[in-house]
Structure 1
Amino acid sequence: MTAPEAPQTPDTPETPETPSPEALQRERVLAEVAALPGLPGVYRYFDARGEVLYVGKARNLKKRVSSYFQKDHGGTRIGVMVGRIARLETTVVRSEAEALLLENNLIKALNPRFNILFRDDKSYPYLKLERHPFPRMAYYRGAVDRKHTYFGPYPGAWAVKETIQLLQKAFRLRTCEDTVYANRSRPCLLYQIRRCSGPCVGLITPADYARDVADAERFLRGDTDAVLGDLQRQMMAFSDGLEFERAAEVRDRIGALSRVLHQQSVDESSLSARDRDVDVLAVRVMGGRACVNLAMVRGGRHLGDRAYFPTHVEEAAALGAEEVEALEEAEAALPVECQVLEAFIAQHYLGVAPPPSLVVSHPVRRELLQALAEQTGVKITAQPNPREQRRVWLEMADKGAQIALARLLAEEGSQRERTRALAEALELDAEDLDALRIECFDISHTAGEATQASCVVYEAHGMRPAEYRRYNIEGITGGDDYAAMRQVLQRRYAKVAEARAAAAASGELDAEGGTATNQPLPKALRLPGLVLVDGGRGQVAMAREVFTQLGLPLHIIVGVEKGEGRKVGLEELVFADGREKVYLGHDSAALMLVAQIRDEAHRFAITGMRAKRASVRTGGSKLEEIPGVGPKKRARLLQRFGGIRGVTAASVDELATVDGIGADLAEEIYRALH
């Protein structure tokens, strides 16, 4: 007998695996890519935290963006970037020129991780000739208007001031404020030393002053030959008329102008009209950093240069090199120097009117110049291989870029070693030294008046002024530094503590303060790697109390205690977590960094306190606006109550006790100040 066959059980269907969040995210991105149009535009990649990774432009959005996702890029930088893309945004434009301009506007606004970025510093100074019957020369920084005449921009304040001094010697134009000019009864010292013609007291006629202004304007525009010719004719006319003193004055003006022109070492006859306004751009790349040195020539005069150091150069250069193979586009195969130069031109001249001529150390694509011409209305040419005078200018700019970059690398190398030394000395848990963030606090006041706290930030081996903050301290006893420190730390870290507590409750943070997925912390949850407070055990105890209340770690708090005799180099470090205080040694690189950060916090606090104190003390201007309060009564009030703050705090009865202040006026003062 054969055994009966066992009944067959039907196959149970397998439960499909639930796709991971990363897979779903990838599918969403690919779906967005598939829906892109084949039009010119700009695309932006974002990571899971919403931070911008990359901004790019394309003739064909669909073709360009999809090419990033069609290949396995492995562990290259482009692969790292693609692996972090959580979503994308695109903007369709009419032309590639529009795409280029939008791309660089977005790069400046969003600061993406894989783009070359130049700091948006457009605050160039100008020389201003104010509209007035007797125009005044002035240093000016800001937006220009049509009310006055502006010359520039100049590379720095020193260049403007040097030009003003020259014009004072050669044309004797006034520099005093209109309020001073209108109230002079006798000429000032500048007239005595022959730097001003004395229009305030009528020592020069309006016609003669207007001629001097016109000569100064022509000189600033580069028409120096005509100016010198007119001055020589004036000198001969005075001489023929036996006015030898006036002839000698004009002779001195000619000599001053001639010396300046000789120092410039430029043959005016060899300069064309387009040579009189030129920007010279030289690029140097070394050690993962880059420098663009901008030299300005205005009116045929070399005004000086200014160095710019972009960020993300190494990442952008590596990404660009990998795009050549990945995207198979020849236009991406630009040397890093050309990438840096084009990024500077595109970002810099979007906000600053360019001159008609650029002298450049490396070639620039014609499409970029055409796009800028459409944007600015100025037809621009770029010359990479200049001759004669332009070649001299370019060599000077290139040498300046070389020197500036070498100095930067030396400073950064020193700072990197200081960061490493501090991390090792304090046993900081900082795997990535570039990401180590230090925040330092200081309190400043004068006898309890105008108390302010400052917070300065050190990150990526350098101070970060854009992230500095000042805190006005209110509601404490004047001079109570401990209470001020308590207030500023609570205000600085209370929101971070709340966000971390909520994240821990939801499971986003583990017990050690890290994420469950080992991803970088979102910005709202991040704490600095080190919190420095300027002070010893008392200040550290106050910081420990605040951090304990907020539930934040204590080991990141370090106090900088003055050494014996308060001498620099003898500072000791005091810890909030109970460790013994440490003396690092006067020649320690770690102590040098601590002292640098502490001194910067002190400087920042002092400047803020002085500005606040000045505004408080000069608040007496509020008293000036009160009818019946003249200079004498105002002085009595300020002297009696120690300043405008004391006057404001006084009652009506107290105000009425001041000599000359009746009950009605006291009530009027009280009402005006409140």
Structure 2
Amino acid sequence: MKTVYIEEQIKNLPAKPGVYIMKDENENIIYVGKAISLKNRVRQYFRESNADPKVRAMVAKINEFEYIITDNELEALILENNLIKKHKPHYNILLKDDKTYPYIKITKEDYPRIFKTRKILKDGAQYFGPYTNIFALNDYIDAINDIFMIRDCNRNIEKSISNRERPCLNYYIKKCSAPCNDKISKHEYQSEVKRAIQILEGNTQIIEEYLTQKMYKASSDLNFEEAAKYRDKLTNMDKLYEKQKIVSNDIDKNQDYIVYSNDDINVVFSVFFIRNGKVMGQESFYFERNLDNIDEMYNSFLIQYYFEKDALPDEIVIEKDISDRGLLEEYLGNRKSKKMKILVPQKGKKKDMLDFAKKNAHEQFKIKSIKELNNRSHFESSLKELSSLLGLDNISVIESYDISNIQGTSSVGVKVVYKKGKKSPKDYRRYRIKSLTDKSDDYASMREVIERRMKDPELPDLILLDGGKGHVSTIKALFRELKIEVPVFGIYKDKNHRTEGLCSDTEIMEINKRSSLFKFLTGIQDETHRFAIDYHRNIRNKNMIKSELDGIKGIGEKRKTALFNKYGSIDNLKKASVDEISSIPGFNKNIAENILNYFKEL
């Protein structure tokens, strides 16, 4: 039900593009969205005729909202994406794509090098990939370099030739043609590189013949260990080529095909990489269906997936249109410095490839569903055993809490949530301890964290504390004051800090260490402890880097935070170049030089 305050806010909303930020009564951001007209879009959420039950559930939690006006819808799109990544709102999907697949890079030098890289630069080099089988890729690069004797050093070749430098060991073991010692002409060396490029473009027969000859030669020389190495390399090559299925000899563009498969509970998005008519690999992302309908989730996934990609394809092929297609094309085209196409084919070869990708996405989804069923059976068994042990009915939502500090400094608390036995990371929360003078007091810190959490009227079925009887007693006393009835137990550890069992404020319950329940509880405790330690370490590192930057002219709080977010540590910052630092928003070349000169003088 709308409050008078929200009704007044809606009346005063501008009919301009921008981003809206929904908050609950604890001021937690629960949803971020963008709009061409803030007035029209936000008003839709609070209409009583809103049919989507998940939208109604979110609206019921909205206590207030904020908005930011932008000059146009593209700016709103960029801001929305940044805010989602920063605040991780409960009702937005969040893509945690921390995988960076490697590419093969051929440098733009007179004597090029060939090596693996995960970073795509605008440096005139040639890039092939991405490759999803990393072990096979390593063998692939080794074999190419062995066949064509490509250098892997950083020497200035012209300078080495003029100084008559001796070639390195690779020349003597026949792994390099030694252009540094003029053992091969520039023209001959570049011809070998061109042959290597032909292999990368699809002529794989050369490399297979080379490895096979090496294997038979080693075998005939009775060097069976060496022969086995070449056999393994051939096997890895087969794995690499097996994934690089030729789907069309007519496709000469780099394409990504994005498809999905779903039911009422979950959805999987699959990305297929097509390079020069071959499937180079694919990756899949799984989400629970939350607030968004499938069209909105598809739209959000595409935006988050491509927003910060180093290497962009020439075309993105999708199975159904998205509301932000034009905006995403414009944004990616600006980044790529050439027109970007997002296509929705209805027939032809691209539609055939889309159907092929869709079949594979369905298979991925079925495999995931089977695993989910198996896991669900395991979780249900553990929850049933836990319910019986504690004398509770229908445990569905479990919240686990931990406190982390070092001698009272940077004291923090965390909440980790399990729903139906599964982790629910979108519900995790972090808390800075604010009200205590003695922040080494774990009992008082735990009380503060849970008291703040209890302002949310939606309560869990069970609360677990990382601690013993004292922690449980403290929180039970708090609940009596607040007149809240939620079961509270502690997961206590032995003297070696290993999970031992459960406890109330009066008794200890030992658990069979071979049981599924013990493994389940150990997993909860480990996950809560990990989350707390990570948060504490993050704050501690942030404070350390900020304090070490205090003496640098022109570095205030905003720039300190930007440097921490970019580099994470002083050591990483020291390794950065002036150009890298000056490219950070809000920095320039003079400030970057001040920073690096400051560390040189220490």
Q: How does 1:235-246 map to 2 (within 5 A)?
A: none
Offset at 1:294? 1.2
- Structure-1 residue corresponding to 2:588: none
- Structure-2 residue corresponding to 1:327: none
- Structure-2 residue corresponding to 1:448: none
SS at match of 1:270: coil
- Structure-2 residue corresponding to 1:582: 510
Q: Unaligned 5+ residue runs, structure 1? A: 1-21, 233-254, 318-335, 444-454, 470-488, 504-508, 534-539, 608-673
Decide which of 500, 505, 521 is 1:594's aligned counterpart. 521
SS at match of 1:216: helix
| Counterpart AA for 1:210 | Q
Question: What is the CA RMSD across the aligned residues, in angstroms?
Answer: 5.5
Question: CA–CA distance in 1 between the matches of 2:102 and 2:427?
Answer: 21
Deviations 1:135-166 (A, max 9, x none): 44333335746386544444464464354245
Q: How does 1:160-199 map to 2 (within 5 A)?
A: 160-161=137-138, 163-165=140-142, 167-168=144-145, 170-175=147-152, 187=169, 197=177
- Structure-2 residue corresponding to 1:211: 191
| Counterpart AA for 2:291 | E
- The 3 A distance-change label for structure 1 pair 81 and 529 is same
Query: Do structure 1's residue 140 and structure 2's residue 117 form an aligned pair?
Result: yes
Offset at 1:283? 0.5
Offset at 1:291? 1.0
Decide which of 382, 400, 417 is 2:343's aligned counterpart. 382
- Structure-2 residue corresponding to 1:658: none
Deviations 1:82-113 (A, max 9, x none): 23222222233444454444434433333223
Question: CA–CA distance in 2 between the matches of 1:51 and 1:309?
Answer: 25
Decide which of 379, 402, 408 is 2:365's aligned counterpart. 402
Query: Do structure 1's residue 83 and structure 2's residue 60 form an aligned pair?
Result: yes
SS at match of 2:257: strand
- The 3 A distance-change label for structure 1 pair 592 and 77 is same
Question: CA–CA distance in 2 between the matches of 1:602 and 1:77?
Answer: 32
Offset at 1:589? 2.1
Question: CA–CA distance in 1 between the matches of 2:190 and 2:119?
Answer: 26
Query: Do structure 1's residue 273 and structure 2's residue 206 form an aligned pair?
Result: no
Question: CA–CA distance in 2 between the matches of 1:37 and 1:601?
Answer: 43
| Counterpart AA for 1:436 | E
- Structure-1 residue corresponding to 2:328: 372
Query: Do structure 1's residue 558 and structure 2's residue 486 form an aligned pair?
Result: no
Question: CA–CA distance in 2 between the matches of 1:382 and 1:490?
Answer: 56
Greater mean alpha carbon deviation, residues 44-53 or residues 195-204: 195-204
SS at match of 2:39: helix
SS at match of 2:327: helix
Deviations 1:358-415 (A, max 9, x none): 333x3123x5232122112142132355655725752564245324532552465256
SS at match of 1:314: coil
Question: CA–CA distance in 1 between the matches of 2:523 and 2:11?
Answer: 53
SS at match of 1:38: coil
- Structure-2 residue corresponding to 1:346: 303
Q: How does 1:416-495 map to 2 (within 5 A)?
A: 416-417=379-380, 420-421=383-384, 423-424=386-387, 427=390, 433-437=396-400, 459-460=417-418, 461-462=422-423, 493=442
- The 3 A distance-change label for structure 1 pair 296 and 55 is same
Aligned residue pairs, count:
475
Is the contact between residue 387 and residue 395 of structure 2 (CA under 8 Å) also seen in structure 1? no
Aligned residues: percent identity?
23
- The 3 A distance-change label for structure 1 pair 173 and 107 is same
Is the contact between residue 166 and residue 256 of structure 1 (CA under 8 Å) also seen in structure 2? no
Question: CA–CA distance in 2 between the matches of 1:129 and 1:272?
Answer: 22
Deviations 1:465-524 (A, max 9, x none): 99899xxxxxxxxxxxxxxxxxxx9769477347369x6xxxxx8xxx955xx7259xxx
Question: CA–CA distance in 2 between the matches of 1:111 and 1:73?
Answer: 25
Is the contact between residue 257 and residue 354 of structure 2 (CA under 8 Å) also seen in structure 1? no
Decide which of 85, 98, 107 is 1:108's aligned counterpart. 85
- The 3 A distance-change label for structure 1 pair 546 and 107 is closer
Question: CA–CA distance in 1 between the matches of 2:64 and 2:528?
Answer: 39
Greater mean alpha carbon deviation, residues 136-145 or residues 300-309: 136-145
- The 3 A distance-change label for structure 1 pair 348 and 604 is closer
| Counterpart AA for 1:339 | E
Greater mean alpha carbon deviation, residues 82-91 or residues 571-580: 571-580
- The 3 A distance-change label for structure 1 pair 491 and 300 is farther
Decide which of 105, 109, 112 is 1:128's aligned counterpart. 105
- Structure-2 residue corresponding to 1:314: 290
Q: Unaligned 5+ residue runs, structure 2? A: 211-233, 334-338, 407-412, 431-437, 480-486, 535-601
| Counterpart AA for 2:189 | Y
Offset at 1:433? 3.3
Normalising by structure 2, report the TM-score: 0.61
Is the contact between residue 125 and residue 152 of structure 1 (CA under 8 Å) also seen in structure 2? yes
Q: How does 1:572-651 map to 2 (within 5 A)?
A: 573=501, 575=503, 577-584=505-512, 586=514, 588-596=515-523
Is the contact between residue 290 and residue 309 of structure 1 (CA under 8 Å) also seen in structure 2? yes
Is the contact between residue 290 and residue 310 of structure 1 (CA under 8 Å) also seen in structure 2? yes
Offset at 1:590? 0.8
- The 3 A distance-change label for structure 1 pair 200 and 268 is farther
Query: Do structure 1's residue 529 and structure 2's residue 463 form an aligned pair?
Result: yes
- Structure-2 residue corresponding to 1:6: none
Question: CA–CA distance in 1 between the matches of 2:302 and 2:367?
Answer: 19
- Structure-1 residue corresponding to 2:43: 66
- Structure-2 residue corresponding to 1:357: 315
| Counterpart AA for 1:213 | V
| Counterpart AA for 1:71 | E
Question: CA–CA distance in 2 between the matches of 1:308 and 1:529?
Answer: 30
Deviations 1:506-547 (A, max 9, x none): xxx8xxx955xx7259xxxx9x933457xxxxxx69xx5999
- The 3 A distance-change label for structure 1 pair 77 and 463 is closer
Question: CA–CA distance in 2 between the matches of 1:178 and 1:578?
Answer: 71
Normalising by structure 1, report the TM-score: 0.56
Decide which of 438, 441, 457 is 1:519's aligned counterpart. 457
- The 3 A distance-change label for structure 1 pair 463 and 130 is farther
